[in-house]
Every structure is written in C-alpha cells, then in structure tokens.
Amino acid sequence: MADIQLIGKDIATGQMVFLEAADAAVPTTDNDKNLGSSTNRFQKIYVVRIGDAGDARLQIGAIRISGPDVSGTNSWDQSYGTGDSTGLTGNAGDATLAAGNCTNAGGNGNAGNARVAGGVASGSGTDGQVQIYTNGLKRWIFENDGTLYPFPAGTYGLGGPSNEIGHVYIGSDRKLHFGNGQEASMEFDDDGTDKMLVLGTWDFSGATVEGLAPPIETFVTLHNFANASGTMNTSYEDVALAGDFLQWIKIASSSASGRLDAVFAGRLSADHTTISSIKTWVKKGAGADPQFDIQIYCEGQAGSNQYTGTYSTQGTVPGAGSATQVSITDADITNQPATNKRYFIFVRAYLDAGEDMYLTPPFVKHE
C-alpha cells in the first residue's frame, strides 16, 4: 500500500502522511504540525504501547519518558534532556522524571510504582542529582549517593506542630548529629558496647527526666575482715593530707604465713543497673613478695565470683613504697547485681611472716 497523505489547504505539499514503510503518521515537515491546540485539546489518548522493543518512550523536546519494552523485562526507565529545555525550570539534564512500572512485574518496581531518576547534569551541575523545587525555589536535593538534604542548609523541617511524622528508624552504629559543627550526637553502638552513646554536653535542668539517673562514684564501705588464717593484723593509717590523700588499710603477718580478706559492701540504687568501674590502690609494704587477688560477688548470681580480669588471679602486690591504681571495668564482670542489687568486693592478702601490704577502700562507679 502506498503512503496516505492528509491534505489541507496546501494541496501541493499536504499536511500529514501515513508512511507505509515506517508504520507511522508524521507531519510532512519536521516540528511543523500540532496534534490538537491550546483551545482544542484531545480529552484522552489510548495507546496499546509506546515505542518498540528496547526503545519504548514518549519524547517531548529535551525530556524523554521511557517505558517497558514489549518483552516485559524493563521497567519504566529514567528520562533526561539532551538539548534545549525551553519552558522548564533548570538546565538541560538537571532532573529527570520517569513513570512507574504499571504493568510489568519484571521491572525495577511492582505495579503502580513511580520513580524519579536523576539525569546527567551539564555545566556546573552534579551528575545524577535530583532537585526538588516549589514556588520556583530549590528546596531539597537528592545526591547521587542517595543523601537527602535541604537547600540552603538548616532551612526546612520534616513534619510540623500539627503534621507530625510517624516512626523514625535509625540503623546500628548510625548517629543523630546536633549543631552546625555536630557538637553532640546519639548512637546505638552495636559494634562496640551495645549501648546508647550520648556525646556532647547536655543540660536537663529545664526538663523532668524519669528513670534516668546520672552516674555516681563513691567509696564503698569496709564490711569486715574475713577468712583469716595465720597471724594477721590490720590497722588504719592516718590520711596523708599533704601526700597521696588516700586512706590506707594495712594488713600484716606478724609470725606465720596466712591469708586475710578485706570485704567491702556496696549496692546499686533503684535507677542504676551496672557496676561500670572499680578503682582501688595498693602498695607493697615490708617483705619480699606479698601477694593479693580480687573477687566480686553480686547478688542473684548464686554466690560465685563474677570477676574474671587481671587481678582475679593471685599475684605480687605492685608499687613498693608508692601507690598503684588497680582498675576494673564492667567488661571484666560476668554478671551484674540483681534483685536488691547488692554486691561485695573481696581484696584478699596472701602474706608470709614479716610481710605486709596496703590497700584503700574501692572507689566504685554506678550507672
């Protein structure tokens, strides 16, 4: 069949041609004839499909809206401008719009999904960036790595006083940052302590906070001396106010080898759950090799020692003539106090005749 021409007033050239070879209706001159007008518009256009396999698209000037091919393997693709974009906000290629995969489940989205995709910018723009404008002003930017931020910085909010958003889910080891210089942050430290880490200086003076107790540090009380063997003597030394400012307890063996436990008692408050650190000071007195170890017993843990750190094994007292601080953290405590949250710290001295050692009441931090 030959080409069919639609003839208007210009019989010599015709107005539109149905091309047999291309199966297409085209104007006789490129970019010359309209389909409808500003006052005589079509109501609906029904199309079986737009384009052919691998090249399904509706192209309007510099903007292309692409769709699935006839095999159903491609979703609606991105669209981008490559030339002049007269009448559009922004330069050619700044932003792209693509319809969703409405019929083909084999595409990038399920039926009914819509997709906005970044184009390739020209000039001073950024490749793949999607910019959102309202009222002629740029408001939000999606970077090509998926990051969303307002433009300018610190201008727009999410939700409002009467338009609240729902739940916000933050992944492990990801932070909420506060301040232009990120001076404060909150994070769930999943790959470290499995705790919420709150960094920066916080002021709760104007707030009512329930169930949140600040950490406290305190010296625990000497309960008694226990499990004595041999001939052991104890005494309190005068506080060296002009020296180390510590209260020393002296344990000495006068005539026979033996052991003596200095037992200290503590208790967590109702709002605290953790013994986070224990610090005590020891120093060697007379004799060649006085030794000691430390044990921690927590209520609700079947009366077994919960301390597994360095000083849980009997060893030589360090610090001949000077104080050495012994530090224990919650990482070395297997189980924390339960029920009424009481605990005992045993500092056990192992001395030969003529040996002595010094220790201080432990300084304990509760959180």
Q: What is the domain partition of the chain in residue ranges?
A: 1-46, 53-158, 167-202, 217-366
Q: At residue 174, does pLDDT exceed 60?
A: yes
Lowest mean per-residue pLDDT among 14-18, 131-135, 145-149, 230-234:
14-18
Helices (H), 201-252: none
Distance (Å, whole) CA 222 – CA 202: 35
Average pLDDT over all residues of the chain: 77
Pairing of strands 24-27, 16-19: antiparallel
Question: What local confidence, expressed as pLDDT, does residue 92 receive?
Answer: 38
In DSSP notation, 247-294 reads: --EEEEESSS-EEEEEEEEEE--TT---EEEEEEEEEE-SSS--EEEE
Average pLDDT, integer, range 71-85 = 40
Lowest mean per-residue pLDDT among 131-135, 185-189, 222-226, 249-253:
131-135
Q: At residue 138, does pLDDT exceed 70?
A: yes
Average pLDDT, integer, range 82-95 = 36
Average pLDDT, integer, range 335-356 = 96
Q: At residue 176, does pLDDT exceed 70?
A: yes
Lowest mean per-residue pLDDT among 29-38, 145-154, 199-208:
29-38
Average pLDDT, integer, range 178-197 = 86
Average pLDDT, integer, range 181-198 = 86
Domain range 217-366, its CATH number among 1.10.580.10, 2.40.37.10, 2.60.120.260, 3.30.70.120:
2.60.120.260
Q: At residue 263, does pLDDT exceed 60?
A: yes
Question: What local confidence, expressed as pLDDT, does residue 118 receive?
Answer: 54
Six token digits for residue 148: 């969303």
Q: At residue 245, does pLDDT exceed 90?
A: no
For residue 4, name the pLDDT band (cuts at 50, 70, 90): low
Q: At residue 264, does pLDDT exceed 50?
A: yes
Degrees to nearest 5, angle at CA 123 with 119 and 125: 50
Cβ-in-10-Å burial (0-12, 13-18, 19+) of 245 comes to exposed
Select the more confidently predicted residue: 129 or 148.
148
Question: What local confidence, expressed as pLDDT, does residue 149 receive?
Answer: 87
Average pLDDT, integer, range 232-243 = 88
